[in-house]
Chain A
Amino acid sequence: MRVLVVDDSSTMRRIIVNTLKKLGHEDTVEAGDGKEALRALAAGVPDVIVTDWNMPEMNGPQFVEAVRSQPQLAKTPVLMVTTQAAKEDVIVALQAGVNDYLIKPFTPEALKEKINSLTRKP
């Protein structure tokens, strides 16, 4: 399973990637902002996208809207991992096309549950 991790903080990307590796997900691709992520997506569709909210150039909801505007990415699961925890923020993210939401701080178990839930075959 391939996971695209999008966050402008290289440290937060490392935290998420290291956690994913411990959970058995070795195949990860990293991007530092939404535009870089869209370039990565043009090269191949991952099984799940994990994205931050607060990023330069293109924030998380804008990035997800761009993802959803592409037919081949319309059903790719997107998990937003962020400190933006207000109800209004969650609504904005869901309206943009996010499938699920994980608020920092998060445990490895919480990340595992969200990833498994998003990638579970019906």
Chain B
Amino acid sequence: MSSAATKAVAIDAPPMVEVMVASLVDVTKEIFSTMLDRTVEFGAPTFAGPQPTANVVATVGYAGTLSGYISLCVSKEAALEIAQALLGSSAEEAHEHVRDAAGEMANMIAGSVRTNMTDRGEQLGISTPIVTVGTDFSTAALRDVSQAVVPFKMGPHNLFAYLVLQGRK
């Protein structure tokens, strides 16, 4: 196989991933606007890994006719701003809720994407959120999955949504 053919396979997004990315962008805009009163601007998605590095990674899994997960990847500064806006509280109170706030945002994003996929005939369950916090770590999906990195900005902060889909093209 030529290198060009190999490259074409690597960058061509499977349709279901494209469908879910479109849903992911729509629901993330709505959730940041509704729950945080923040406008977010999306960049172009890329359909290859690795998962972006971040201080706070909130992940919600899918199981059913589709299998995979969505992660919300943010810096600790962005996570604190999200917590403060979500709770409508002081920075001091928000600090205690940074992990759970990121988890709730990921839960709402994944839940809303699930609803959109259910409307398309998929049968999906979602997991409880898992939130990883740290300063020097990386996470990676298995090799044979479809994935998408979706960058977006909230004010000065660079955030990412990361989608992994297994077993469906």
Q: Residues on A close to B: CB < 8 A? A: 9-12, 14-15, 18-19, 22, 54, 83-86, 104-107
Choice from B34, B89, B108, B114 contacting A14 with Cβ under 8 Å: B89
The SS class assigned to the A binding surface is loop
CA A9 to CA B100, docked complex, whole Å = 8
Choice from B34, B89, B103, B111 contacting A83 with Cβ under 8 Å: B111
* Shortest distance between the CB of B138 and any CB in chain A (Å): 26
Cβ A14 vs Cβ B97 within 8 A: yes
CA A14 to CA B88, docked complex, whole Å = 9
CA A10 to CA B30, docked complex, whole Å = 23
Contacts of A83 in B (CB 8 A): 107-108, 110-112, 114-115, 126
Question: Which residue of chain B has the shortest Cβ distance to A12 in the bound complex?
Answer: B104
The answer to the question of B35 belonging to the interface, with a C-beta cut-off of 8 Å to chain A, is yes
* Shortest distance between the CB of B31 and any CB in chain A (Å): 5
Chosen A-B contacts, 7 in total, with CB atoms closer than 8 Å, are A9-B103, A11-B104, A54-B128, A83-B110, A85-B112, A104-B107, A104-B108
Cβ B101 vs Cβ A105 within 8 A: no
Choice from A10, A22, A84 contacting B111 with Cβ under 8 Å: A84
CA A37 to CA B164, docked complex, whole Å = 37
In which size bucket is the chain B interface?
A: 20 to 34
Q: Residues on B close to A: CB < 8 A? A: 30-31, 34-35, 83, 86-89, 93, 97, 100-101, 103-104, 107-108, 110-112, 114-115, 118, 126, 128
Choice from A22, A54, A106 contacting B88 with Cβ under 8 Å: A22
Contacts of A15 in B (CB 8 A): 86-88, 104
Contacts of A22 in B (CB 8 A): 88
Cβ A14 vs Cβ B87 within 8 A: yes
CA A84 to CA B103, docked complex, whole Å = 16
Question: Which residue of chain A has the shortest Cβ distance to B118 in the bound complex?
Answer: A86
CA A104 to CA B106, docked complex, whole Å = 12
Contacts of B114 in A (CB 8 A): 83
Question: Which residue of chain B has the shortest Cβ distance to A110 in the bound complex?
Answer: B34
CA A86 to CA B128, docked complex, whole Å = 18
> Considering the complex of A and B, which 4 residue pairs feature the smallest CB-CB distances, nearest first?
A83-B111, A11-B100, A105-B34, A85-B115
CA A85 to CA B30, docked complex, whole Å = 15
Q: A11-B97, A14-B87, A105-B108 are in contact. Are A86 and B115 (CB under 8 A)?
A: yes
CA A85 to CA B108, docked complex, whole Å = 11
Cβ B88 vs Cβ A10 within 8 A: no
Cβ A107 vs Cβ B34 within 8 A: yes
CA A9 to CA B103, docked complex, whole Å = 10
